[in-house]
């Protein structure tokens, strides 16, 4: 799994990703404290609005930024996004109104919606070997999981010496360090226009804006990815939205119980991420990803039965269900980069990753409020409905996926060149 870190350029890029994620995690804690300072008991409503704004920014801005910045060197895009995020982090301690927080969060998330797909498009160029790239995908998944677990602990340590508003200084340090690390490496140049781009109006900004979505719609190997994104969003939304209710109201746990349940889900994801590089050497992505989607669907489906059990049994059952959902989450999301890399040409990677980023967050934009609204009526009904959505999306992905042996399905580096050369899709 650590083979990718033997490459100096990727090692610095991965370190940049880790420190930026640590800063983001600290900012999440700081935003919660800031919302309470500004809104008191209405802090939950403020944070809910912030999360909605975040999803909208991700859905709208990722493809827009990819089209606007198609001719800008990727290192400049990454550094510029980090500097914008650094500026927002430095400004947040000085706000005094909720609307000011929302404006700054919009700017912050716009920068993140620019940074992440660009970073994703750089990694396969830096690591052309399939095994190294698979290692990088697992490391990236692991970094996201550890960020969710380690950042709150880091914030707690910082609060021993800093005030809550000063936590944003730690966020700024993370983004600044990320920018410096990106500046320190030479990144492969990208072609200014995707291969096969039409001239005239069809090669315009509008054409580039549509390109990523068209790729996902017209490329057979990418269609099931959209369905799997919905499966993940359905099951994991229940965990992220309703863990606090399950912990406090059903299991009778204290505030630490909420963190414990989220950590159990993250732990399942970490274990899967550690195992996937070896698994993917022998098992096709199709089988791994569909198996992961089935696992998280089952994990969500058993929740109504678990919640009806005695409290001690329910605690064990919830822990197992959350672990299964976390492991399935990682099994679906980690190999996505391999599927995208094989299904589109290298010149289209940036717009393809931007489209994947945007479309996957569109699924979350639907399932987050669905989990909240249904959960307010009944936790069991919410889990059951979301499990049905996840299972339906999994079955749709299975039917949409090309037959075994088609591009995007076979494992191993030998399949990549052929798939790339034959997957150019006209818009």
pLDDT tens digits, residue range 63-91?
A: 777 667 777 888 898 999 999 999 999 99
Q: 171 with 256, same domain?
A: no
Going by the DSSP 8-state scheme, the letter that residue 71 receives in this structure is: T
d(CA 371, CA 28): 21
38 with 188: CB under 8 angstroms?
no
pLDDT number for residue 414: 37
CB atoms within 10 A of CB 205: 12
Residue 425 lies in a domain: no
What percent of the chain has a predicted confidence (pLDDT) above 90?
22
Name the token pair of 351.
């717009």
Angle, vertex CA 31, rays to CA 25 and CA 34, nearest 5: 150
Whether the per-residue pLDDT at 352 is higher than 90: the answer is no
Angle, vertex CA 136, rays to CA 134 and CA 139, nearest 5: 115
Q: 243 with 171, same domain?
A: no
Domain span holding position 355:
211-417
Q: 350 with 395, same domain?
A: yes
Residue 205 lies in a domain: no
Name the 3-class secondary structure at 404: coil
Confidence category of residue 353, pLDDT binned at 50, 70, 90 = confident
Residue 77 lies in a domain: yes
Q: 268 with 369, same domain?
A: yes
pLDDT tens digits, residue range 307-325?
A: 999 988 999 999 999 999 9
Q: What is the DSSP string of 229-276?
A: HHHHHHHHHHHHHHHHHIIIIIS---HHHHHHHHHHHHHHHHHHHHHH
Residue 171 lies in a domain: yes
Instruction: Give the CATH number of the domain where residue 316 resides.
Output: 1.20.1250.20
Q: What is the DSSP string of 125-148?
A: HH--SHHHHHHHHHHHHHHHHHHH
Q: What is the DSSP string of 205-238?
A: HHHHHHHHHHHHHH-TTTHHHHHHHHHHHHHHHH
Name the token pair of 174.
């993370």
Burial classification of residue 109, based on how many CB atoms lie within 10 Å of its CB (0-12 exposed, 13-18 middle, 19 or more buried): buried
Residue finishing a domain among 131, 157, 190: 190
Phi, then psi, of 189 in degrees rounded to 5: -75, 150
Residue 189 falls in which region: left (phi positive, over 0), alpha (psi -120 to 50) or beta: beta
Whether the per-residue pLDDT at 62 is higher than 70: the answer is no
50 with 102: CB under 8 angstroms?
yes
Rg over CA atoms, the chain = 21
Residue 314 lies in a domain: yes
Q: How many residues does the chain have?
A: 427
The closest alpha carbon to 103, from 87, 117, 115, belongs to 87
Q: 336 with 221, same domain?
A: yes
Whether the per-residue pLDDT at 409 is higher than 50: the answer is no
Q: 306 with 389, same domain?
A: yes
Whether the per-residue pLDDT at 362 is higher than 90: the answer is no
The closest alpha carbon to 232, from 265, 279, 276, belongs to 265
Q: 163 with 254, same domain?
A: no
Residue finishing a domain among 190, 225, 251: 190
What percent of the chain has a predicted confidence (pLDDT) above 70?
79
pLDDT number for residue 127: 84
d(CA 343, CA 196): 16
194 with 347: CB under 8 angstroms?
yes
213 with 55: CB under 8 angstroms?
no
pLDDT, averaged across the chain: 79
pLDDT tens digits, residue range 265-275?
A: 888 888 888 88
pLDDT number for residue 288: 93
pLDDT number for residue 418: 36
pLDDT number for residue 248: 78
Q: 285 with 157, same domain?
A: no
d(CA 405, CA 395): 19
208 with 427: CB under 8 angstroms?
no
Longest dimension (CA), the chain: 67
**Taking residues 395-409, what's their average pLDDT?**
72
**Taking residues 125-145, what's their average pLDDT?**
78
Name the token pair of 344.
């589109």
Residue 423 lies in a domain: no
Q: 35 with 150, same domain?
A: yes
pLDDT number for residue 99: 82
pLDDT number for residue 151: 65
d(CA 83, CA 61): 17
Q: 152 with 248, same domain?
A: no
Residue 236 lies in a domain: yes
**Number of domains present in the structure of the chain:** 2
- CA torsion angle 334 339 345 346 (round to 10): 20
Name the token pair of 405.
């042996």
Name the token pair of 153.
């602990």
Q: 352 with 404, same domain?
A: yes
Confidence category of residue 180, pLDDT binned at 50, 70, 90 = very high
Q: 142 with 238, same domain?
A: no
pTM of the shown model: 0.71
Residue 389 lies in a domain: yes
**Taking residues 180-195, what's their average pLDDT?**
71
Q: Considering only 113-127, 136-150, 194-208, 389-403, which range has the smallest mean pLDDT?
A: 194-208
pLDDT tens digits, residue range 95-131?
A: 878 788 888 888 888 888 788 888 887 888 888 887 8
Q: State the number of CA atoms in the 13 A half-sphere of 414 facing the CB.
A: 3
d(CA 29, CA 245): 19
């Amino acid at each position: 799994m650590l083979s990718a870190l033997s490459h100096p350029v990727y090692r610095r890029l991965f370190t940049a990703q880790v420190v930026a994620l640590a800063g983001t995690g600290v900012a999440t804690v700081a935003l919660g404290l800031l919302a309470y300072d500004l809104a008191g008991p209405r802090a939950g409503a403020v944070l809910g609005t912030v999360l909605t704004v975040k999803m909208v920014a991700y859905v709208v801005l990722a493809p827009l930024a990819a089209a606007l910045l198609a001719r800008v060197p990727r290192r400049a895009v990454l550094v510029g996004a980090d500097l914008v995020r650094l500026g927002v982090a430095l400004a947040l301690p000085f706000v005094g109104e909720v609307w000011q927080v929302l404006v700054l969060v919009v700017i912050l998330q716009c920068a993140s919606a620019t940074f992440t797909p660009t970073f994703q498009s750089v990694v396969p160029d830096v690591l052309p070997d399939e095994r190294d790239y698979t290692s990088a995908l697992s490391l990236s998944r692991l970094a996201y999981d550890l960020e969710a677990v380690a950042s709150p602990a880091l914030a707690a340590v910082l609060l021993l010496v800093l005030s809550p508003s000063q936590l944003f200084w730690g966020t700024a340090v993370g983004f600044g360090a990320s920018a410096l690390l990106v500046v320190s490496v030479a990144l492969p140049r990208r072609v200014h226009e995707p291969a096969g781009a039409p001239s005239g109006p069809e090669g315009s900004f509008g054409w580039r804006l549509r390109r990523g979505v068209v790729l996902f719609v017209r490329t057979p190997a990418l269609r099931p990815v959209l369905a799997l994104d919905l499966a993940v969003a359905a099951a994991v939304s229940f965990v992220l939205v309703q863990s606090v209710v399950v912990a406090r109201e059903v299991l009778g746990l204290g505030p630490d119980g909420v963190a414990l349940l989220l950590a159990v889900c993250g732990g399942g994801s970490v274990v899967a991420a550690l195992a996937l590089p070896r698994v993917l050497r022998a098992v096709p992505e199709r089988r791994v990803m569909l198996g992961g989607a089935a696992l998280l669907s089952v994990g969500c489906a058993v929740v109504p039965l678990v919640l009806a059990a005695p409290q001690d049994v329910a605690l064990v059952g919830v822990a197992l269900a959350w672990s299964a959902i976390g492991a399935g989450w990682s099994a679906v999301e980690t190999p996505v980069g391999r599927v995208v890399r094989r299904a589109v040409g290298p010149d289209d990677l940036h717009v393809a990753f931007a489209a994947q980023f945007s479309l996957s967050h569109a699924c979350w934009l639907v399932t987050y409020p669905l989990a909240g609204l249904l959960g307010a009526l009944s936790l069991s009904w919410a889990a059951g409905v979301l499990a049905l959505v996840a299972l339906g999306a999994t079955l749709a992905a299975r039917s949409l996926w090309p037959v075994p042996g088609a591009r995007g399905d076979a494992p191993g580096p030998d399949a990549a060149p052929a798939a790339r050369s034959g997957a150019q899709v006209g818009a």
